Amino acid sequence: MLEIKNLHAEVDGKSILKGIDLNINKGEVHAIMGPNGSGKSTLANVLAGRDDYDITEGSVSFDGKDISELEPEERAGEGIFLAFQYPVEIPGVTNTTFLKEALNAQRKYRGEEELGGMEFVKLIRSKTKELGIKDDMLKRAVNVGFSGGEKKRNDILQMAVLNPKLAVLDETDSGLDIDALKIVAEGVNKLRAENNAILVITHYQRLLNYIVPDKVHVLAHGKIQRTGGKELALELEEKGYAGYSGEAA
């Protein structure tokens, strides 16, 4: 589903990703771990098509389609979702309005009928219930005054409503309490299906107890240095990234 080949990318002219190869098939969950500043969020942003994140070499295809020239909103329409390391506040725009605009924009992109008021309300009510999110949060402005953990949960709510084919979760576990972590993991596991794929970026193997990955990759110095099964996460937790310092591989 997602094929990344020899991806080189720079941010504001600074080279960050230096040859990433990564394949994620339908139905798979992959985890990326790696030291601070190694390029994990950069990879997420490149996949989402953020301006200033320029691909200098290599290719990214999604569902067999080259997406490197697509606008961020087009990639979203194709089914790529990014849960942000730092979700953004949008004062004055309620969660409901935001979700509705987003969902209908994506549906329109895919040539689907836009959802009417009632259907939409039904949909989000069922999702908030699943994720244990209070309905009054829907009336609040997007992420404004939310605690760190609430923001992360709100991103997961958006994911649940938008139902993407590929969800990239950038440190969604950071700042979550144990209960919230379980709820978020459940939400992610619900999305996990034959036709969907998930890429989890995390520093902690704890999350991977709940969202069990098919593969774990170590990203350091802009490259994937090692790939293994879920046991690799345990090893990293124990030994740290000492073995990946310097220009390895």
Q: Does residue 11 belong to the site contacting ligand ATP (CB under 6 A)?
A: yes
3-state secondary structure of 53: strand
Within the chain, where are the H helices? 40-48, 72-78, 95-109, 117-130, 148-162, 178-191, 205-210, 231-239
Q: Does residue 111 belong to the site contacting another protein (CB under 8 A)?
A: no
The rounded distance, in Å, linking the Cα atoms of 122 and 224 is 42
Min CB(212)–another protein separation in Å: 26
Q: Does residue 36 belong to the site contacting ligand ATP (CB under 6 A)?
A: yes
* The binder of another protein chosen from 38, 41, 42, 106 (CB under 8 A): 106
Question: Which residue matches tokens 């194709």?
Answer: 78
Q: Does residue 51 belong to the site contacting ligand ATP (CB under 6 A)?
A: no
Name the residue nearer to ligand ATP (CB basis): 34 or 187: 34
* The binder of ligand ATP chosen from 23, 25, 37, 59 (CB under 6 A): 37
Q: Does residue 34 belong to the site contacting another protein (CB under 8 A)?
A: no
Which positions ≥6 away from 31 have C-beta within 8 Å?
199, 200, 201, 202, 208, 213, 215, 216, 217, 230, 233
Min CB(39)–ligand ATP separation in Å: 4
Name the residue nearer to ligand ATP (CB basis): 16 or 208: 16
Contact 103, 115 (CB under 8 A): yes
Q: Does residue 41 belong to the site contacting Mg ion (CB under 5 A)?
A: yes
Contact pattern from residue 64 through residue 93 relative to ligand ATP, giving x for each residue in contact according to CB under 6 A and a dash for the rest: ---------------------x--------
| Tokens read off for 114 | 């836009």
Q: Which of 22, 145, 167 is nearest to 83 (CA)?
A: 167
The rounded distance, in Å, linking the Cα atoms of 53 and 14 is 10
Q: Which does 36 bind (CB under 5 to 8 A by kind): ligand ATP, Mg ion, another protein, none?
A: ligand ATP
Q: Does residue 205 belong to the site contacting ligand ATP (CB under 6 A)?
A: no
Contact 83, 172 (CB under 8 A): yes
The interface with another protein within residues 127-186 (CB under 8 A) comprises 141, 158, 162
Binding residues for ligand ATP, rule: CB under 6 A, are 11-12, 14, 16, 34, 36-42, 85
